[in-house]
Structure formats: structure tokens, C-alpha cells
Amino acid sequence: MHESLTIGQLATRSGVAPSALRYYERLGLIRAERTGGNQRRYARTELRRVAFVRISQQVGISLEEIREALDSLPSARTPTTEDWARLSLTWRERLNEKIRLMTKLRDDLDGCIGCGCLSLQRCTLYNPGDSLAGEGPGARLVLPPNGRGADPA
Amino acid sequence: MHESLTIGQLATRSGVAPSALRYYERLGLIRAERTGGNQRRYARTELRRVAFVRISQQVGISLEEIREALDSLPSARTPTTEDWARLSLTWRERLNEKIRLMTKLRDDLDGCIGCGCLSLQRCTLYNPGDSLAGEGPGARLVLPPNGRGADPA
DNA sequence: CTGCAAGTTGAAGCCCACTTCAACTCAAGG
DNA sequence: CCTTGAGTTGAAGTGGGCTTCAACTTGCAG
């Protein structure tokens, strides 16, 4: 009955759209067996992989990086609690760093409200290379890839 | 000499590429006078607008929302320190909320490392609707726009 | 055995925040 | 005046993370 999951079931249980699950599979984030009729059947352990993907996204990690992390899991055996804990720990550091940067941004913002500057030069607010938010998806956010900017001297 | 700024000067001083500045102008985030020969000349106060845009992006605000915020500035006169402080304060709350959510995520992650679950159902980690990271740019991240998901029941 | 929801594919589309390009014009120093 | 770097435009491209579509096949309840 619930030996394995259809894509619809995995979608419902993970809160991730089927199209996204197929996309994740293309990227190598999750895997599926196939039925005789070529339909995907997911092992229950894939739920944990999906969970890891979504949580990682919340930390601001790109799918490519998540894939690399997942690739470091043992492929021979089903990953253990320790395996997952190890992965989560690396994210934890990233998360802490993000929290630190955002806290700094908030405090700097407070300071700038006080002094009324809001200036690129005087404030520590505009510290390029950090990219606090929006690390995940689209375009290069805080600093463009070209050499322009980077030193607000 | 530095009565007004060319786009190159504004780019250098703000660390934002000229193409991005033109893009911001199209979106109504910044404004420029024009010379007889149709070249942009920026008032020095535009530097502060650009700073506000970049800082807001770091808080995870979309350009559309930033535009709305900037539209609330008085158009008749040059915005005062108080005007900027008011805007910054609204972001401060968002920032605090983000910090709160990320801290929660970290603590939950700690808890899940301990208990080894990493499960969508048992953990508070997977709390849809939050979208901690990557709020800025691309696609809908944590929850897809369709009704799918949303209740990990 | 049939009907229909649920699954399959590749290709295309979408959104955001830009960048790049081509073809051209402007501004200013020598 | 002439050159050259900086600026102008609209259109198209990029990248990440998906969704949507069309055309088709499977799987299961009745």
C-alpha cells in the first residue's frame, strides 16, 4: 500500500509540485524507480531528500550546491541519521553566517537611521560580496559579475 | 564639476553597473535629468536612492516593492533624514522577521540533527509561507503559486 | 473491459534582475 | 576639426527555478 510513492503522493506529502519533483530528478537531486509502464515510484526515503532540498533552499543554497551535497551521501547504503546530520551541520554554519550578516545589517541600519547618512561611503551597510538575501535564485544580486563596483572608495 | 553625475560616475560611486542603473530608471526607482544631447545627469541625491535600493535588496525586498516604498517619498521636496528613516524603519521590521525565522530554522535544524528526523511532518523546519531566503529575485521559492502543497498534513 | 484520473515526454514559457549587443550619438581634450 | 571614450536605444540573451502545454500512455475502480 505504501511501499513506494507515486509522484502525486510524493507531491502531496512533501508539498512540492510534481513538475518540481521531475525537475529535481533531472538535476539529480532525487531518484525514482520505474514501473513496467514507465511511471515513477519513489522510495519513502526520498521524502527525506526532498525535505533536505527544501530546507536547504530556505538557507539560501542553490539547487546545484544542494546536488553536490547530496552527492556526498553514501550511494551504496541508505543514508543514516549521522549522514544527514553531517550535511545539516555544514548548512548550519551557512545559516549562522547569514544570521550574523543580517543582524549586522539591521544594526547598521539602526545606526544609519540615527545618523541619517544612508550613504554608500560612510556606512557599513553597503558591504559588497555578502549577498544576504536572494542568494538562491536569479541574477547576481549584490555585486555584478564584472569588475565594476566592488570598491566603494 | 560635481554638480551632477554622469551615469558612469554614479555607477562608480554606487558600485552599480550602468546597465542596472538604466534598468532601475525604467522601473521608476531612480530619476535623471537629460543634457541637450540626451545623456543622463543625476542629482547627487540619487546616490541615496541607489543606496536605499541596494540595501533594500539585501533585506530581500523585490524591486517592485522598493519602487512602491520610494513612491511614498515626497516628490515635491528633497526627502529629509526623517523621510529616509521612516522608510528604513519599515524594512527594519522585515529584517527582524527574517532574522527571527532564520534563527528558528537554525534551532529547528539543531533539534532535527539531534532527533534525526528531518521529516516534513514532524519538524517545524518545513513551514511553508515563510520563504526565508531568496525572496528577492527569481521564481517562487518555498511555495509554488498554485494551491499544491501548503498543508503538509 | 472501459473510462478517466494520473502519469509520461520534450519543448516552450515565465519571472526577476539584470547583461550584452549592435548601431549609433555626444562631449571634451589635443 | 577630429578622435576617442562615454553615453544612447531597443531587442535579445542569461540564469535559476520552476510551470504550462500538447500529445500521448498507464493504472485502477467499477
Verify if strand D has an atom below 7 Å from the CB of B38. yes
Per-residue pLDDT tens over the stretch B13-22: 999 999 999 9
Statement: residue B10 has pLDDT above 70: yes
**Partner-chain contact B133 A17, CB within 8 Å:** no
Q: What is the per-residue pLDDT for B17?
A: 96
pTM above 0.75, yes or no: yes
Which among A21-30, A88-97, B136-145 has the top mean pLDDT? A21-30
Per-residue pLDDT tens over the stretch B84-126: 888 888 888 889 988 988 888 888 887 776 666 665 444 544 5
Verify if strand C has an atom below 7 Å from the CB of B20. yes
Q: Are residues A152 and B15 in contact, defined by beta-carbon separation less than 8 angstroms? A: yes
**Partner-chain contact B116 A84, CB within 8 Å:** yes
Q: What is the per-residue pLDDT for A110?
A: 79
